[in-house]
Chains A and B, each alone.
Chain A
Amino acid sequence: MRLLLVEDDVMVASGIKLGLCGAGYAVDWVGSAERALEVSRTESFDLAVIDIGLPGMDGLELTQVLRKEGRTMPVLILTARDALQDRVQGLDLGGDDYMVKPFELPELLARLRALLRRSQAATSATLSFGPLELDTALRQACVRPTGAAGPCVPIELGPREWTVMEYLMLQAPKPANKDKLLQALTGWDKEITPNAVEVYISRLRGKLEPHGLALRSIRGFGYRLELLAPPPDAAPAPTAGA
C-alpha cells in the first residue's frame, strides 16, 4: 500500500511516517500542496493523508484540486482545528475522513484501514478483514491462514448469513447497527424478527471463531466484527508495562 503524506511540520510528518512505515505502508512525504499535486500527477497512491494547515494552498483546496483532476483515492484530512464547521467542509470538499491533531497512532491506522477497505470494496469485488476475505461477485467467503501463503480456506455461508456477514464486513471496524442489519435482511424475508438476526449471528460466530474472528455484541446497539487476538498495533494498557 502506498500512501501520500502531505504535512509541512517536519516533526509531525516524520513521526507519522515512522508509524505508518512501521505498520507496513510505503509512505511518500511532501511538505506542500503544490509538491503533492506534482507527485500525484506522475505517481499513483492508494490513499492520501493531508494536513489542512499547509503553506500556500491549504489542505482543503488541495483535496478539491485532486478530485477535479480525477484522483479517486481516499483522502484523510488532518487538522488542528476541531470545530464542526471544518469537518463538514472537509468532507464536502472530497475528504473521506478527518482526524484532529494530536491523535493516537492506533486510531490513525484503524481509520486508514477502514478507508482502504471501503475503497477496495468500491473498486474490487473482494472485501477483507484480517484473515477473512469476501468475494462479493462470486458470493464466496474464505479465510487465509495467518503467516502462510497457502490457499484460502472457504467457509460455507447461507444466503442470509452472507448478507449479515457482508454488512458486518462493510462496517468493520465500526460496529454494525442491529436495526440497519434488520433492514438489510428484509430483502430476504418480509417479516424478520430481531431474534432471527441473533440466530444468524450465532451461526456466524460458530463458523468464524475457529479462524480467530469474533462477533462482539454491543449492548443496545448491534454487533462488531473483531479479531480475536489483539492486532499488532493495539496499544497495551499504559500501566501494563510498569
Chain B
Amino acid sequence: MPARQAIASGLKRRLLLLLLTPLLLLASLNTWFDFRSADSASLQQDRQLLSLVPLLSASVVARGATETDPPVMLMAPPIEDFLNQRRGLAAFALVGRYGSVLLGDLWLSGMPPATGEAEFSSQEFDGVTFRIVSQRMKTPAGELVLRLADGSDPRQQWLRRLWIKVALPNFILVVAAFFAVNWAVRHALRPLLALKDAVERRSPRDLSAMDAEGVPEEVRPLVESLNRLFDLVNAQAESQRSFVADAAHQLRTPLAALQAQVEAWAQAVTSTAAQADPGRVYMENTPPVLVDIEHTAITLEASQVYRLRQAVRRTSQLANQLLALSRADSRSAHIQPVQRVDLQELCEVMLETHLDAATAKNIDLGLEAAQVHASGHTWLLRELLSNLVDNAIRYTQRGGRVTLRCGWGVAPDGSAQPFLEVEDNGPGVPEAERVHLLERFYRVPGTLGEGTGLGLAIADEIARVHSSQLQVLQGQGGCGLRMRVCLPA
C-alpha cells in the first residue's frame, strides 16, 4: 500500500499542481478583470452625474423671495427623469455657501468644494451607498453648490458585494475544478495503477509476458520494455536451468559407471562375509576385498567399500535431485497439460518403492489412503511424494513410524480439496528451523543423515507448480513432522 500511495500521490500531486495552479491564476485574473469592468462602469456613472450638473444648474431659475427662502426651480426634464427613474435611490441638493441645504435632500449637506471643479465622493445613507457629485456653479440664484446623488449603480454596492459577486463564483469554480480534476486524474491514472498492481501481484517466478491490451498507449512502451526485460531474464534463467539440467544429466552417466563398480565390490564383500559367517554380515571386521586393477591388487577394508558406496550413492542422488529440481523449476512444467492423478495409486506405488528402505530401519511404513483424484503432473507428484517419504524415513529413528496419507481436506474457502501428506514420529524440527527447511541445500543443524538438502526444496517447487505450497506441520501428538500439500481437485 505505501508503494501504491507513493506512485499515486507522486503523479497525482504533479497533475493536480499543474492543473490547479493555472486555474487559480485564471480565477484571480478573472476577478481582477471584473474589478476593472466595474471600475469603468463607475466612470460612466460619474460622467452621467457630471453631465446632469449643468442641467440642474439651469433648473434654478430665480432667487427665493427672501434671503432664507429656497431658490425657485423648474426642473429640466432629464433631471426629472433621473430622479423619477431612481426613486429613493437618487437625490439632489442645492447647498448654500456655508454648507446648509437650501433645497433638496437634507442629508446632502456639507461644506462646499474648495475649487470650481466637480468633486466626487461616496456616502452611505439609509443603507444605500450613493455616489455624489458636488460642483460650485453660478446660477440665477447666485453661486450655489449643486449636489446630485445616485445610489442605483452597482458601483456603489460594489465594495460590499465584491466578494459575493466576483470572488465567490471564482472560488466555487476553483473548488469544483479541484474535485473534477482530482476525480479525472484518479480515473486517468487507474490503468496505470492496475498495471502496477498486476506487476506487484506476480510471483517472482512468473516471468510471462504482460498483457498490453487495455493499457493506455502512453504506457504501452513501458509494458513492452517490461516484457522485453522479462523475456531476457527468462531466457537467462532458462539457460541456467538447462545448464544445471545438462550438467546433472551428464554427471549421471559417469556416476552410473562409478556406482555400478562400487556396488559390485560391496556386493562381493557382503557375499564373502556372508559365506564366512552368515551371522556377521554387518560386523566391522569383515574380510578385506581384493580389487584387481590391471593385475595390481590393492586391499580395501569392507567398511571402506561401504563408505565408498555410500558416497557414490549420495552423489548419484544429488545428481538425480538436481535434475529433478531443474525440471520442476522449468517453465516446461507449467506448459505440460494437466492430468487426472490417482493419489491413492500414487501412495501405494510410493509405499512399495520405499518399503525396503523402511524395513531396513525397522520403520513401520503405513498407508491411510482414500480414493481421491487431483489434477496435476503425475511424474512431478511422484517425485514430490518420493522426496517426502525418503526424507521421513531418513530422519526417523529406527523402529519409528511413517504414514503416507491422501484424502479430501478443507480448502481455505471451505470447499473440499485433495491433499497428500507424509507424517513421521521422528525427532521433528524446531519451530524456528522450519522456515528454512524448504531452502535449497539447507540442513537442520545437528542432523547426521545422509541427505542432500534438496529433497524438500524439490517437493516445495513441485507444490508451487501445482499452485500450492508445501506445509511443514507438527506431527500428531506433538512429535515428528507432518508434510502436507493441498492440490487442485
In the bound complex, do residue B267 and residue A230 qualify as a contact, i.e. CB atoms below 8 Å apart?
A: no
Residues 196-231 of chain A, each 1 if its beta carbon lies under 8 Å from chain B, else 0: 000000000000000000001011110010100110
A101 interface contact, C-beta 8 A: yes
Known: A101-B256, A219-B366. A84 touches B379 (CB 8 A): yes
Could you tell me the distance in whole angstroms from the C-beta of A81 to the nearest C-beta in chain B? 9
Provide the bound-state CA to CA distance between A99 and B316, in Å: 14
Give the contacting residue for A241; candidates B257, B302, B348, B365; CB below 8 A: B302
Residues of the A chain whose Cβ atoms lie less than 8 Å from the Cβ of B313: 104
In the bound complex, do residue A219 and residue B257 qualify as a contact, i.e. CB atoms below 8 Å apart?
A: no
Residues of the A chain whose Cβ atoms lie less than 8 Å from the Cβ of B266: 105, 235
Residue of chain B at shortest CB distance from A231: B274
A137 interface contact, C-beta 8 A: no
Give the contacting residue for B282; candidates A15, A221, A241; CB below 8 A: A241
Residues of the B chain whose Cβ atoms lie less than 8 Å from the Cβ of A61: none
In the bound complex, do residue B303 and residue A221 qualify as a contact, i.e. CB atoms below 8 Å apart?
A: no
2-34 of chain A: CB within 8 A of chain B: 9, 11-19, 22-23
Residues of the B chain whose Cβ atoms lie less than 8 Å from the Cβ of A1: none
A175 interface contact, C-beta 8 A: yes
Known: A83-B379, A238-B306. A18 touches B268 (CB 8 A): yes
Provide the bound-state CA to CA distance between A80 and B356, in Å: 23
Give the contacting residue for A175; candidates B281, B284, B309, B355; CB below 8 A: B355
In the bound complex, do residue B348 and residue A177 qualify as a contact, i.e. CB atoms below 8 Å apart?
A: yes
A138 interface contact, C-beta 8 A: no
Provide the bound-state CA to CA distance between A221 and B179, in Å: 71
Residues of the B chain whose Cβ atoms lie less than 8 Å from the Cβ of A100: 320
B264 interface contact, C-beta 8 A: yes
In the bound complex, do residue A15 and residue B261 qualify as a contact, i.e. CB atoms below 8 Å apart?
A: yes
In the bound complex, do residue A237 and residue B282 qualify as a contact, i.e. CB atoms below 8 Å apart?
A: yes
In the bound complex, do residue A22 and residue B366 qualify as a contact, i.e. CB atoms below 8 Å apart?
A: no
Residues 218-256 of chain B, each 1 if its beta carbon lies under 8 Å from chain A, else 0: 000000000000000000000000000000010011111
In the bound complex, do residue B264 and residue A19 qualify as a contact, i.e. CB atoms below 8 Å apart?
A: yes
A233 interface contact, C-beta 8 A: yes
Residues 165-176 of chain B, each 1 if its beta carbon lies under 8 Å from chain A, else 0: 000000000000
A148 interface contact, C-beta 8 A: no
B286 interface contact, C-beta 8 A: yes
Could you tell me the distance in whole angstroms from the C-beta of B253 to the nearest C-beta in chain A? 6
Residues 347-389 of chain B, each 1 if its beta carbon lies under 8 Å from chain A, else 0: 0100110011001110011111100000000110000000000
A56 interface contact, C-beta 8 A: no
In the bound complex, do residue B348 and residue A221 qualify as a contact, i.e. CB atoms below 8 Å apart?
A: yes
In the bound complex, do residue B316 and residue A18 qualify as a contact, i.e. CB atoms below 8 Å apart?
A: no
Instruction: Tell me what chain A mostly uses at the interface: helix, strand, loop, or mixed.
Output: loop
A174 interface contact, C-beta 8 A: yes
In the bound complex, do residue B263 and residue A238 qualify as a contact, i.e. CB atoms below 8 Å apart?
A: no
Residue of chain B at shortest CB distance from A9: B257
In the bound complex, do residue B351 and residue A175 qualify as a contact, i.e. CB atoms below 8 Å apart?
A: yes
253-309 of chain B: CB within 8 A of chain A: 253-268, 270-271, 274, 278, 281-282, 284, 286, 302-303, 306-307, 309
Residues of the B chain whose Cβ atoms lie less than 8 Å from the Cβ of A104: 259, 263, 313
B143 interface contact, C-beta 8 A: no
In the bound complex, do residue A219 and residue B403 qualify as a contact, i.e. CB atoms below 8 Å apart?
A: yes
A149 interface contact, C-beta 8 A: no
Give the contacting residue for A220; candidates B356, B367, B450; CB below 8 A: B367
Residue of chain A at shortest CB distance from B401: A219
Residue of chain B at shortest CB distance from A147: B278
Residues of the B chain whose Cβ atoms lie less than 8 Å from the Cβ of A220: 366-369, 403-404
Range of interface residues on chain A? 35 or more
In the bound complex, do residue A102 and residue B259 qualify as a contact, i.e. CB atoms below 8 Å apart?
A: yes
A240 interface contact, C-beta 8 A: yes
Provide the bound-state CA to CA distance between A83 and B382, in Å: 11
In the bound complex, do residue B379 and residue A12 qualify as a contact, i.e. CB atoms below 8 Å apart?
A: no
Provide the bound-state CA to CA distance between A193 and B410, in Å: 32
In the bound complex, do residue A218 and residue B351 qualify as a contact, i.e. CB atoms below 8 Å apart?
A: yes
In the bound complex, do residue A241 and residue B271 qualify as a contact, i.e. CB atoms below 8 Å apart?
A: no
Known: A102-B260, A235-B360. A218 touches B365 (CB 8 A): yes
Known: A19-B264, A233-B271. A102 touches B256 (CB 8 A): yes
B182 interface contact, C-beta 8 A: no
A232 interface contact, C-beta 8 A: yes
Provide the bound-state CA to CA distance between A188 and B374, in Å: 36
Residues 63-91 of chain A, each 1 if its beta carbon lies under 8 Å from chain B, else 0: 00000000000000000101110000000
In the bound complex, do residue B255 and residue A102 qualify as a contact, i.e. CB atoms below 8 Å apart?
A: yes
B471 interface contact, C-beta 8 A: no
A242 interface contact, C-beta 8 A: yes
A236 interface contact, C-beta 8 A: yes
B310 interface contact, C-beta 8 A: yes
Give the contacting residue for A11; candidates B257, B271, B286, B320; CB below 8 A: B257
Residue of chain B at shortest CB distance from A105: B263
In the bound complex, do residue A19 and residue B368 qualify as a contact, i.e. CB atoms below 8 Å apart?
A: no
Provide the bound-state CA to CA distance between A182 and B376, in Å: 31
Provide the bound-state CA to CA distance between A224 and B249, in Å: 35
Residues of the A chain whose Cβ atoms lie less than 8 Å from the Cβ of B264: 15-19, 22, 105
In the bound complex, do residue B257 and residue A15 qualify as a contact, i.e. CB atoms below 8 Å apart?
A: yes
A234 interface contact, C-beta 8 A: yes
Residues of the B chain whose Cβ atoms lie less than 8 Å from the Cβ of A82: 320, 323
Could you tell me the distance in whole angstroms from the C-beta of B400 to the nearest C-beta in chain A? 13
Give the contacting residue for B256; candidates A9, A83, A106, A174; CB below 8 A: A9
Residues of the B chain whose Cβ atoms lie less than 8 Å from the Cβ of A234: 270, 281, 360
Residues of the A chain whose Cβ atoms lie less than 8 Å from the Cβ of B262: 15
Provide the bound-state CA to CA distance between A232 and B274, in Å: 6
Residues of the A chain whose Cβ atoms lie less than 8 Å from the Cβ of B361: 237
Provide the bound-state CA to CA distance between A219 and B306, in Å: 32
In the bound complex, do residue A236 and residue B306 qualify as a contact, i.e. CB atoms below 8 Å apart?
A: yes
Known: A221-B366, A236-B306. A22 touches B249 (CB 8 A): no
In the bound complex, do residue B303 and residue A242 qualify as a contact, i.e. CB atoms below 8 Å apart?
A: yes
Provide the bound-state CA to CA distance between A82 and B249, in Å: 10
Give the contacting residue for A238; candidates B268, B307, B355, B368; CB below 8 A: B307
A contacts, CB < 8 Å to B: 9, 11-19, 22-23, 80, 82-84, 100-107, 110, 174-175, 177, 216, 218-221, 224, 226, 229-230, 232-238, 240-242
A–B pairs, 10, beta carbons within 8 Å = A9-B256, A15-B264, A18-B261, A19-B264, A22-B267, A102-B320, A104-B259, A219-B364, A238-B306, A240-B306
Nearest first, the 7 closest Cβ-Cβ pairs linking A and B are A15-B260, A219-B366, A11-B257, A220-B367, A18-B264, A105-B263, A241-B303
